[in-house]
Structure 1
């Protein structure tokens, strides 16, 4: 009994909130104000990690659609905020307290305002129904306190914790926005009703799910694990459920904020598609950063990740990882290494086993092997500091098992792959943007793509525009395409 009481005290608030939709009591452990505070903190972290699309016109449009929907949501003490995340993977999610996000990747495959509204309404439903708070209540009951990456960061303080948890940061944000199957069904039902109450066709949710499923199949397994598909699988049964739900909803059409498909798609004209060169790009396992002017290659078959803070890779088993980040400004790797080691030793017992100066592709560098004693055990670290153009970059490798000669050789090869970007490589990096074009009478998608200089192939163009690959177009059909442009 004492232990149970301590849990209640630790959580701060225990109560049964009355669900404003069903009218039934739901067990929650946090107040709405605590949700707002937690959501604000998570939002700041996420936006710093992934970045926000800086387009005032697009911001205003997404915000206006969101507020029209939020006006129909169950009453809460939340101030809803809607943003576009700078992520090429189709995704949408909500954080506690009213932060709702859609990615530019999701906007790329959305074909009318009603589809967009249904997706956003689904996320608003998660917030209004307090699904995060209810999920926390169940998690505490099962003894699940945190995510693996966030747990690691908590057990290993300071810079070492940042390095260890880096690969899990984006996944951790996604997991914050994941829900149970029952909660997803509830958000589907309530979200379609919210969209209908705002004057949008609730059947548009099913249309979007079909396109999302096609896009996910085209993109492959890795994107399915990362994007909207992971938590919102477009299974045939779910599409059927969305169709059936829409048939039962009574609604009255209200004109959207855009009056036509042409006007809707023009909201995204010039929006970035695919990788953002400003954050660096992957070509296979080689990473190239045009602004910082470096390149580095990660091991074959390792799963790569990239954020605005770091770039790296995990092996298939998740037992080894590599990460590169800009650690400091300066031209002395030894000075940067000394500062890092001294700071780390203030946090954990860090023993440096080996340290040596070296040259990497003509660049001044320092290589070290160390062992950190942490709450999760002994953690072998392989660290390389290298200077380029007045910045010190840190390449860190670590393994969860014994550090072997093979690990050392592999980490060494990655460090040795770091070099300055050549002028030819820099010039080869281009950006890809959304453009809107009109079809001519009777032309095929293949002919249309060729005539418009579309960077997408026929299949990608068909999926993005909710068409079949063998479609015959009519005069004036409005399609979105991708145009490659020079990266400044």
Structure 2
């Protein structure tokens, strides 16, 4: 054992000695086990998965805008030679993120919440900053060192992820979660880069108020600074405000752009919230107008929808339901693919009919291998109820997954969506249109609420509209000023 630890320590020392690289941003030597070539490969591998999982938002003018600004900013960054790509993904979530090698993504949700080009430019610079400072590569290097040191931790219920390819991809992307120091450094770089291409970085600070208000609206509990991977929005506002003032002075920047009206006109018509054609929940029923099916959602369960799959789970996380498209041209072939792909043992199986649709039902288990049992004494047997349903030229795979001990408690819950899967025929659901943001001029000076009321905005939308406009409802607006409204 002593010889083993000596060898292990020597391995770590050699890795630390031979794997240092100069950080492009700080100029300091960092422990780096990931080369630039590996970064590029990681990005190329991740990009198709991200696009398949979230989908791209089809808006040529917005895509042209972010590509133009992205390339301009990349050119003044610390790593101008990377093959950057900038994409808008079709998600209502307010988010932007980057992966190694130069891939930057904005959701349509965050594009809808920006109120000028300068806000966008600040966040763009922040994401490019993660790439130029090699934050992803650093996180990956730390992960690799942890594995060498045999201190790799476990994710809660990792065995559930073995049933879902997307979940496995999610575990593989954990290195994208940055620490507070990385976020602060990227905020600083966002200010620097956006100022260099002529934008007022003070607007980036203001956008943190929008994020803070959105978090309060959703009822998210405030996370203490020392517990959070991100600094609090309030802290970031103060810090970025100071950095913006310093950048103006350092770069002797004058006549910095905000470009509010041009940005608002550009996002006129952008989809707001969920897009019904991708599927939506109403009165505890999930509807998919394009694929023309529906099924009930278990009471109290959260649902997450993406182009690849629908996931549902209770708040305590003791079970998981997944809907995906199965491979195979017949129910028998699809069942074989599911069994082989998930390495499960079938306990029961039978052909059934689900509301007139041919289907195949299975109860199956996945047991840990002997080596896993020795390493992870607490690993439990996983049991799943699986329905394969043939409909509309597709075979739908509905899985309900939990531990063998809990299976009897969830069996009836799993059966509800599976046995009530059916064709969607309701014209109202089939023809449901998304809400869109419409840009309107203020017709008479007054408060934002008065201006919104003049356009027959719904009272239920007022809070959302105040956040969307980056204003309070009692803030004054002047005649001719452009504002966002929601068209249902």
TM-score > 0.5, shorter chain as reference: yes
Report the count of equivalent residues. 463
Q: Distance in 1 between matches of 2:453 and 2:430?
A: 24
Aligned residue in 1 for 2:109: 105
Q: CA deviation at 1:348?
A: 6.4
Aligned residue in 2 for 1:245: 243
Q: Distance in 1 between matches of 2:10 and 2:281?
A: 51
Q: CA deviation at 1:327?
A: 1.8
Q: 1:167 to 1:449 in 2, by over 3 A?
A: farther
Greater shift in the superposed pair: 211-220 or 48-57: 211-220
Q: Distance in 2 between matches of 1:304 and 1:348?
A: 23
Q: Distance in 2 between matches of 1:129 and 1:247?
A: 22
Aligned residue in 2 for 1:164: 164
Aligned residue in 1 for 2:93: 89
User: Could you say what secondary structure the match of 2:483 adopts?
Assistant: strand
Q: 1:24 to 1:340 in 2, by over 3 A?
A: same
Q: Which runs of structure 2 are paired with 1:55-454 in the superposition (5 Å)?
A: 55-75=59-79, 77-143=81-147, 148=155, 161=162, 163-167=163-167, 169=169, 173=173, 175-221=174-220, 232=230, 234-249=232-247, 250=249, 251=251, 252-253=253-254, 260-283=259-282, 285-328=284-327, 335-336=330-331, 338-346=332-340, 350-375=344-369, 378-427=381-430, 429-454=432-457
Q: Distance in 2 between matches of 1:354 and 1:61?
A: 55
Q: 1:54 to 1:171 in 2, by over 3 A?
A: farther
TM-score by structure 1 length?
Answer: 0.86
Structure 2 segments unaligned to the other structure (5+ residues): 1-5, 373-379
User: Could you say what secondary structure the match of 1:116 adopts?
Assistant: helix
Does the 8 Å CA contact 2:122/2:201 hold for their aligned counterparts? yes
Q: Distance in 1 between matches of 2:63 and 2:384?
A: 42
Q: CA deviation at 1:282?
A: 2.0
Q: CA deviation at 1:131?
A: 0.6
Q: CA deviation at 1:389?
A: 2.5
Q: Distance in 2 between matches of 1:365 and 1:340?
A: 11
Greater shift in the superposed pair: 429-438 or 245-254: 245-254
Q: Residue deviations 1:451-477, cap 9 Å, x none?
A: 324467222111111111112321011
Q: 1:422 to 1:447 in 2, by over 3 A?
A: farther
Structure 1 segments unaligned to the other structure (5+ residues): none
Q: 1:39 aligns with which of 36, 43, 51?
A: 43
Greater shift in the superposed pair: 461-470 or 139-148: 139-148
Does the 8 Å CA contact 2:179/2:230 hold for their aligned counterparts? no
Q: CA deviation at 1:3?
A: 3.6
Does the 8 Å CA contact 1:95/1:176 hold for their aligned counterparts? no
Q: Residue deviations 1:130-181, cap 9 Å, x none?
A: 011111222233336698499659xx8xxxx3x33545655865x4432011
Does the 8 Å CA contact 2:327/2:337 hold for their aligned counterparts? no
User: Could you say what secondary structure the match of 1:193 adopts?
Assistant: helix
